[in-house]
Amino acid sequence: MAISLADLRRVKADKPPRILIYGNEGVGKTTLASEFPEAVFLQCEEGTPGETELTSFGRLETFAAVIEAMTSLYDEEHEFKTLVVDSVTALQRLIFVETCARGDEHGNSKNRIEDFGYGKGYVNAKNVLREFLDGCEALRRDRGMAIILIAHSVVTTFNDPETNAYDRYEIDLHKQLLGEVTRDLDAILLLKKPVSIKEEAKGFNGKRSRGEGAANVILIHAVGKPAFIAKNRYGIPESIRFDRGAGYAKLSEYLPVIDAAAAPQNAKAA
């Protein structure tokens, strides 16, 4: 059927959000994710905050277990509205193990992802990762669930010849998989403490720069800078303060409404 101007329609970002939250250990990533409506966790590692109670399948130690849990959320009746994967950094290890077990084009298993040679292991790992991402999209599309991915951060020092050296925050995923994970996300949010640079005297006529962080303040960064990756398509300000227990409330001012989960596909067909 030919496409005509009669097919034009107005669209907006009203589907459940797909968000990646990353940052250092203990900064509040899991706590923030737990504040999203009716969240259910796929835990690929230990690390439940002591003050937070989560709804979880328990630690999932294989890629097959992750997919099985996602399948149950797709097929069975429930009222969950948000899927949280904690963390995709740990999930990456399960993907590599699964990729090695499946082996090469001849079915020969490998001990390490590098054993495939010529980067083929990472190409194969992308295919395994795509199964997970397709599952996320199915839950979002057919069950109306928001998708929250938690990741660890890697901090490296960047020596800029035109200014002071600074720490750069990056998402702790292999570069071969990072683009696959982040490509379709609606927001990438970095949680970290604000740092101010102060100069102080050092020796004879010398100076040195020193970073100072606010002890009890954590910011949610939603717009990227040279020092970190961040983005969003919802008009979230450059940064907002994260107070535990009120993080989602602030973000929800900008996010699409997360509705109740839809019925399973087999129930719809009935």
Mean pLDDT of 16-33: 96
> What burial class does residue 134 get, using C-beta atoms within 10 Å of its C-beta: 0-12 exposed, 13-18 middle, 19+ buried?
exposed
| Structural tokens at position 137 | 């999209």
Q: Rounded to two decimals, what is the model's pTM?
A: 0.87
What the chain holds in terms of domains, given with CATH numbers, is 14-255 (3.40.50)
Question: Residue 234: how many CA atoms within 13 Å on its side-chain side?
Answer: 24
Contact present, 213 and 193 (Cβ < 8 Å): yes
pLDDT tens-digit series, residues 151-210: 999 998 876 655 666 788 999 999 999 999 999 999 999 999 987 555 545 555 555 454
- Please report the pLDDT score of residue 29 as a whole number: 96
Contact present, 136 and 147 (Cβ < 8 Å): yes
For 113, residues 6+ apart whose C-beta sits below 8 A from its C-beta are: 96, 99, 100, 121, 122, 125
- Please report the pLDDT score of residue 269 as a whole number: 35
Question: Residue 108: how many CA atoms within 13 Å on its side-chain side?
Answer: 7
Task: Measure CA 205 to chain center.
Answer: 46
